[in-house]
Structure 1
Amino acid sequence: MTEANDRPAARVVCVDGSGRVLLMHWRDAVSGQALWEPPGGGIDPGETPLEAARRELAEETGLPGEAVLDRWLPVHRDFTWLGVRYVKTERFYLARFGRTPQVRPDRLTAEEDGAYLGSGWFLTEELAGLPDVVDPPGLPEIVSRLTLPE
């Protein structure tokens, strides 16, 4: 495993009108481990975290990036992906959808396309019952805090 990497990234907690959260399902080609996580990814040079969150949402899900609100929480993450350990704080933004939109990940990178297993909308109480790891582990609390009325 290579040393820790702190590349900046942003993620999006998408919540539908029934309170379900969108998670992307991936398989790490190095470890073979599968996991569920909110859509998101690295912040490109010259991009703000909000711009990156909107771009990543559109690329990974086909959902409109404009749905991402300028409402976020800092989330500490410590995970390994493709043999690289990532230790960093990411911004987790909120996006709300009235109806449950269909996810169409038609702009994945080659790496993402090879790792993509699907997606799903879940109630937070269902997350503990998923067959693979949900990352970050405190996602139900993150969703709760992001969706509190302002």
Structure 2
Amino acid sequence: MSKKRDPETLSYRPCVGICLFNTEGRVFAGRRKMKEPAPYRWQLPQGGIDKGEKPLEAARRELFEETNVSSVRLLAEAPEWVSYDFPMDGGRRWSGKYRGQTQKWFAFLFEGDEAEIDVHNPGGDHHPEFDDWRWEELDAMPDLIVPFKRGAYEQMVAMFTPLAKGLADG
């Protein structure tokens, strides 16, 4: 018989989130292949930090593994980590090992040709996480993400809105 762990005692899984901006100040939004209902299937690239890996290295790796994109320039690193809890009624993510995730967000400017973006055949022989993508307004993202991540996305939007406006204004 397995013991159910108290979520309050669990740690947060360290990961990164990536805002990939185009020159007009819009962000890459990928439509997840997962089961979330519309419109909550859209999200920004994100993923775990491997043991011994620095957050910026993880951000570049995750971006490549999810989008095939490597033609980027770092614009900013969020000054603080942003956390969210997994829903208690949802599936047991990572076998119940984590309470949620804590993310270090990075903003990159996409400097390549859009043909580089390939969510169906992403870099590093990584299994595709997205089945479609589009450029989206940054402030629209909290309404497109699954509700349990919404607060984290609102914090990220607040941090990176000046960048988006600066790019949009030229």
**Normalised TM-score (structure 2):** 0.64
Aligned to 1:25: 31
Superposition deviation, residue 141 in structure 1: 4.9
| Inter-CA distance 145–51: structure 2 relative to 1 (3 Å threshold) | same
Which has a greater percent of helix?
A: 2
Matches within 5 A, 1:20-99: 20-28=26-34, 32-34=35-37, 35-64=41-70, 66-69=72-75, 71-72=77-78, 73-79=80-86, 83-84=92-93, 86-97=99-110
Cα distance in 2 between the residues matched to 1:101 and 1:88:
30
2:143 and 2:100 map into 1 onto residues whose CA distance is: 26
Identity score, percent = 26
TM-score by length of 1: 0.71
Q: Please say which of residues 51-60 and 6-15 is displaced more in the overlay.
A: 6-15
> Could you say if the C-alpha distance between residues 50 and 128 of structure 1 is closer, same or farther in structure 2, counting changes exceeding 3 Å?
closer
Cα separation, 1, equivalents of 2:147 and 2:31:
9
Q: Say which one has the larger Rg.
A: 2
Task: Check conservation: 2:66, 2:130, Cα contact below 8 A.
Answer: no
Which residue identity lines up with residue 84 of structure 2 in the other structure? R
Q: Which residue of 2 aligns with 1:109?
A: 126
State the distance in 2 between where 1:82 and 1:118 align. Answer: 24
Deviation at 1:59, TM superposition (A): 1.4
- Aligned residue-pair number: 142
Structure 2 gaps of 5+ residues are: 164-170
Q: Which has the higher strand share?
A: 1
Q: Which residue of 2 aligns with 1:143?
A: 157
Q: Which amino acid aligns with 2:53?
A: E
Partner secondary structure for residue 6 of structure 1: strand
Q: CA deviation at 1:71?
A: 1.6
Note the residue ranges of structure 1 that are not aligned, 5 or more in a row: none
Please tell me whether the aligned partners of residues 85 and 99 of structure 2 are also in contact (alpha carbons under 8 angstroms). yes
Question: Over residues 10-50 of structure 1, what are the superposed CA-to-partner deviations in whole Å (9 max), with x where a residue is unaligned?
Answer: 1111111111111221133xxx2252221120111111011
